[in-house]
């Protein structure tokens, strides 16, 4: 580090108090939260792309992304910035469709399958509400849960294959990733705790009357943040890839492919996979590096199909969920129509382009089957864009399950939507992560700028645990229930044969 000490003899245009690496929603939110407090800190945002916006930069159709009133960060920001919201057209109580390997589910599930699914949802929901899951290591079963996948946990709690498939579907929906074999069970429970339980998170994903859309798209949030950052004299440099970050007791040196900057603190506000590509000296602790390497991303494609008139309002709500084993490209579809739009829209996520392989069931074949129609291909516009996939950690040693946002390294802070305690992997999670990282940095540099509530909310303090039914007890209870059912059926068969 000695060769950096005299790199700058005096402050110049490359000197800043704070440098934010990443111009996505997380980085923009962090920079805005620092600047709008007027605490005398100069902020620079460095973005490797040629425009600000991050993972929503290519989402020209982001007006079909929806939010929910339970997502407090995005709802508060829209209200604060006076960005108009639009609500889904009310078509009354209509059915949602579950598309299985045998096609759309026409009748109610058999009671024994529905019972297993209900038991699983109830067990996961009640356990995820345990305050000990606020942080990874607090729970007595954390070490075991950190090493198994959520799919293995499903297999421990659910016996019947069809029940397992539907349970996998619900979990993959709330995690935003298709393959439940590679998602840490511990991470899922910690994530669901932040979201106030599995059922609350499902309510967001499946949508209800509190679902809304942003009139000019989610990108309007980034545009408003940029405008306000510029008003506060914040700087933004695009097309600069950060390669190395080095720090000593006095300063931080951020080197891009163009120049070297000097600052007091850095917020790395990029996804985990991008964060580990930046060379940091001194090198972060091995558990922090390993934690970021645990995160993986599932490739998804966001689609929207526009129609002159809705062909799905006769019986169904427009919402479709495809089960894990249905062999269809469709993951989830929903009605993205709103009052101000002249056309009607079906939007959602598919696992691969509808214009490529025929190995999976075609999207429009699924729509026709679910809505008992032949009109799904009569769209006036159809678009596909790379989806804003969620990054999730794989099972691993408990020592590698930490939240990098609450584990700053020297003068470097980490922020990403994936680290958000409440809604990781979503727009709301990006805003939340930006807010928290800004508060954590200010707590070190300008604590007088924070309110007592902000200090409490961003420190992720331990909470006093309360009694709850542990996972192992839930599995034991399920085994006992299954044995009792088998004994009852055997007794019933024997009595029937005697008669």
- Binding-site residues for FAD, in ranges, read 26, 242, 418
The answer to whether the CB of 196 falls within 8 A of the CB of 125 is no
> Exposed, middle or buried, 184 (CB in 10 Å: 0-12/13-18/19+)?
buried
**DSSP per residue over 253-291, as a string?**
EEEESS-EEEESEEEE-S-HHHHTTSEEESPPPHHHHHH
In whole angstroms, what is the distance from residue 86 CA to residue 456 CA? 33
In whole angstroms, what is the distance from residue 413 CA to residue 224 CA? 24
Two structure tokens written together for 465: 């645990």
Q: Which residues of 196-221 are buried (b: 16+ CB within 10 A; e: fewer)?
A: ebbbbbbbbbbbeeebbbbeebbbbb
Residues 6 or more apart in contact with residue 107 via CB below 8 angstroms: none
Q: Which of 332, 336, 315, 337 is nearest to 366 (CA)?
A: 332
Two structure tokens written together for 270: 């990029």
The sign of the torsion formed by the CA atoms of 334, 336, 338, 341 equals: negative
Residue ranges of the annotated binding site are 26, 242, 349, 418
**DSSP per residue over 98-161, as a string?**
EEETTEE--SPPPHHHHHHHHHHHHHHHHHHT-GGGGSTTSSTTHHHHHHSBHHHHHHHH--SH
Q: What separation in angstroms does the CA of 275 have from each of 292, 414, 479? A: 8, 8, 43
Measured in whole angstroms, the distance separating CA 159 from the mean position of its chain's CA atoms is 29
Residues 6 or more apart in contact with residue 36 via CB below 8 angstroms: 228, 232
What are phi and psi for residue 268, nearest 5 degrees? -90, 105
The sign of the torsion formed by the CA atoms of 350, 353, 354, 359 equals: negative
Residue ranges of the annotated binding site for substrate are 349
The sign of the torsion formed by the CA atoms of 405, 199, 178, 68 equals: negative
């Amino acid at each position: 580090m000695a060769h950096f000490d005299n790199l700058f003899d005096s402050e110049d245009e490359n000197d800043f108090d704070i440098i934010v690496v990443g111009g996505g929603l997380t980085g923009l939110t962090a920079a805005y939260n620092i600047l709008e407090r007027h605490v005398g800190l100069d902020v620079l945002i460095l973005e490797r792309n040629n425009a600000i916006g991050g993972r929503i930069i290519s989402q020209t159709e982001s007006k079909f992304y929806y939010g929910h009133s339970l997502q407090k960060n995005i709802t508060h920001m829209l209200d604060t910035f006076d960005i108009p919201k639009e609500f889904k057209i009310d078509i009354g109580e209509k059915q949602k469709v579950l598309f299985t390997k045998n096609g759309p589910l026409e009748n109610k599930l058999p009671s024994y399958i529905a019972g297993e699914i209900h038991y699983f949802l109830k067990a996961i929901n009640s356990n995820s509400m345990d305050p000990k899951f606020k942080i990874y290591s607090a729970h007595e079963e954390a070490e075991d849960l950190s090493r198994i996948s959520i799919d293995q946990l499903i297999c421990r709690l659910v016996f019947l294959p069809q029940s397992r498939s539907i349970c996998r579907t619900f979990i993959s929906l709330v995690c935003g990733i298709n393959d439940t074999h590679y998602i840490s069970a511990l991470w899922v429970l910690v994530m669901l705790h932040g979201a106030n339980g599995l059922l609350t998170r499902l309510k967001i994903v499946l949508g209800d009357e509190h679902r809304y859309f942003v009139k000019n798209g989610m990108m309007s949030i980034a545009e408003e943040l940029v405008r306000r950052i510029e008003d506060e004299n914040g700087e933004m440099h695009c097309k600069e890839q950060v390669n190395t970050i080095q720090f000593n007791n006095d300063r931080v040196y951020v080197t891009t492919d163009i120049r070297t900057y000097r600052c007091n603190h850095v917020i790395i506000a990029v996804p985990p996979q991008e964060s580990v590509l930046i060379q940091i000296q001194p090198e972060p602790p091995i558990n922090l590096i390993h934690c970021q390497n645990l995160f993986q991303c599932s490739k998804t494609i966001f689609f929207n199909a526009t129609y002159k008139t809705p062909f799905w309002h006769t019986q169904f709500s427009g919402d479709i969920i495809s089960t894990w084993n249905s062999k269809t490209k469709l993951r989830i579809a929903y009605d993205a129509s709103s009052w101000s739009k002249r056309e009607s829209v079906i939007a959602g996520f598919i696992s691969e382009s509808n214009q490529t392989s025929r190995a999976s069931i075609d999207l429009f074949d699924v729509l026709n089957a679910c809505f008992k129609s032949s009109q799904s291909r009569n769209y006036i516009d159809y678009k596909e864009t790379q989806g804003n996939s969620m990054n999730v950690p794989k099972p691993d040693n408990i020592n590698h399950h930490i939240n990098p946002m609450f584990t700053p390294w020297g003068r470097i802070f980490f922020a990403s939507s994936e680290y958000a305690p409440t809604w990781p992997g979503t727009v709301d999670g990006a805003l939340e992560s930006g807010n928290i990282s800004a508060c954590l940095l200010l707590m070190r540099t300008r604590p007088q700028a924070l309110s007592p509530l902000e200090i409490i909310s961003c420190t992720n303090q331990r909470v006093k645990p309360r009694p709850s039914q542990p996972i192992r007890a839930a599995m034991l209870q399920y085994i006992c229930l299954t044995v009792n059912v088998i004994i009852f059926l055997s007794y019933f068969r024997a009595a029937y044969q005697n008669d």
